[in-house]
Amino acid sequence: MSNDISEKTKNYELTVLLPALNEEESIGRIIEEIKNVLSKKNINYCILVSDNGSSDNTIKIAKDHNVLINHVKDKGYGSNLKTSIKDVKSKYLIFFDSDGSYDPNEIVPMYEEIKQSNIDMVYGNRLIRQEKNSMPFLNRYLGTPVLSKLISIFFGLKVKDCNSGMRMLKLQSFEKVNFFCKGMEFASEMFIKSKFNNLNIKEIIINFRKDFRSGSPHLSRWRDGWRHLRYIVANAPDKFINLLSKIYLINYAIIFILSFYNVDNNFPRYHTIFSLLAINYLFSAFFLGIVSIRIYLVNISSLESKLISRLKEMKKNNMLMKIFMFFIFLTIMELIIVLLKWYLTGFGELAEINHMIRILVYSAVGSFFMYFDLQLESRE
């Protein structure tokens, strides 16, 4: 099918790509809108519906409107788009959702912008001009702005709407870009990979409408938001990942130091210690997950990371397991001291919480290095 689509699109200036999954309520209407807009312009274009396994009448309606159809088996918004982007061979490509939320009248200004400027991608900012109830409140004022701000901070891009689903591409610029994401986080990946490949991006403000569907949208706010956040942070420059690790280690250093203090009950030492422990255990789950994804991305998508390179070098020299064994040794020594003190009290009551706190610190920090070693081993 990919060769067929490549052959059918190679003689067109512009391909209008509509990713679809069960869009029978809207697909016919949006196709007619596109034809009505572009029929008034001298643009050599085609419409391509990229279907991701629809079980309703989406494909039948698309065929009735005499448009090209690409069947993508790999599930997910990202899988659907990246497959069709690779298949299409026209000079330019614009994609947007098939649900009617994006106005086809925006195609022409985006097309003119990318033709006249030295731009590789033009995307539409939906956050300024919206119909009432076209976007959930949290998506508009929390999720999208926060994720866009993180992309701006981490990658030096002026992005206001990283989740915009309307983008015009100069396809030649994206031929060598290796897209990875299968889900909604593909929207963020496009910005990040554009930065990595030194591509030029421009934003224009577009109209955003209430979609034509009667049912709920395909996206899941919290799940998709988490996938965006996870991917963005996993690709962030090393200095930000190093900052996270420093915060983690500083917290444990504070806990370690406090474990030696014998102070009056007025000082909330144990409250501080166990609060920091709780924060670190929550934080470590996120941090270790990010490092795991980062190792994977370095291996499969040529992400450059001095941090991962250092970890690989440490593993090669068996330093990760040596550090882990060192902390195990410290843990055992603390346990021996506790057992000795217990023996000296005649196995009576023993209040040695300070030692137990240090045991928690040693085991937590040591387990980090064991985790790094095992992750690198599993990714080889």
Cα within 13 Å of Cα(204), Cβ side: 18
Task: Check residue 212 and report its DSSP letter.
Answer: S
Q: What confidence tier does 192 reach under pLDDT thresholds 50, 70, 90? A: very high
- Two structure tokens written together for 129: 């001009």
Structure tokens at 368: 């980090």
Average pLDDT over residues 345-362: 82
Evaluate if residue 314 carries a pLDDT over 70: yes
Contacts of 335 (CB under 8 A, 6+ apart): 355, 359
Whole-Å CA distances, 184 to 79, 170, 187, 227, 239: 9, 21, 6, 8, 26
Domain that holds residue 298: 237-379
More confident residue, 300 or 93: 93
Q: Are 104 and 116 in the same domain?
A: yes
- Which residues lie across from 51 on neighbouring strands? 20, 71
User: pLDDT tens, 283-294?
Assistant: 888 888 888 989
Nearest to 155 by CA among 195, 188, 116, 213: 195
Are 137 and 8 members of one domain? Answer: yes
Residue whose C-alpha is closest to residue 26's, from 53, 46, 56: 56
- C-alpha 144/C-alpha 205 separation (Å) is 15
Q: What is the CATH number of the domain that holds 143?
A: 3.90.550.10
Q: What gap in Å lies between CA 350 and CA 343, rounded to an integer?
A: 10
Same domain, 128 and 168: yes
Q: How far is CA 330 from the centre of its chain?
A: 38
pLDDT of amino acid 45: 97
pLDDT tens digits, one per residue of 207-264: 999 999 877 666 677 889 999 999 999 999 999 988 888 888 898 998 888 888 765 5
Across the chain, what does the average pLDDT equal? 90
Total structural domains within the chain: 2
CA distance 19 to 198: 26
Structure tokens at 184: 């909604």
17 shares its domain with 73? yes
Let me know: does 51 contact 73? Beta carbons within 8 Å.
no
Q: Residues 226, 292: one domain?
A: no
Is 26 in contact with 215 (CB distance < 8 Å)?
no
pLDDT at residue 3 above 70? no
**C-alpha to C-alpha distance for 61 and 51, rounded to whole angstroms:** 12
If asked whether residues 180 and 301 sit together in one domain, one would say no
pLDDT over 70, % of the chain:
95
Tell me which of 10-24, 57-71, 328-342 is least confident.
Answer: 328-342
Both 175 and 279 in one domain: the answer is no
Residues 6+ apart with CB under 8 A from 125: 160, 161, 164, 203, 204, 205, 206
Alpha-carbon torsion, ordered 113, 211, 191, 152, to 10 deg: 100
Query: In this model, does residue 266 exceed pLDDT 60?
Result: no
Q: Are residues 243 and 229 in the same domain?
A: no
Residue 142 vs residues 77, 165, 222: alpha-carbon distances, Å: 22, 17, 12
Spacing of C-alpha 364 from chain mean position: 27
End-of-domain residue from the set 180, 200, 233: 233
Domain end, chosen from 206, 233, 260, is at 233
Assess whether pLDDT exceeds 60 at residue 172: yes
Tell which wins on pLDDT, 371 or 354. 371
Query: Does residue 246 share a domain with residue 173?
Result: no
Is the same domain home to 202 and 297? no
Going from the C-alpha of 227 to that of each of 157, 189, 238, the distances in angstroms are: 20, 11, 20
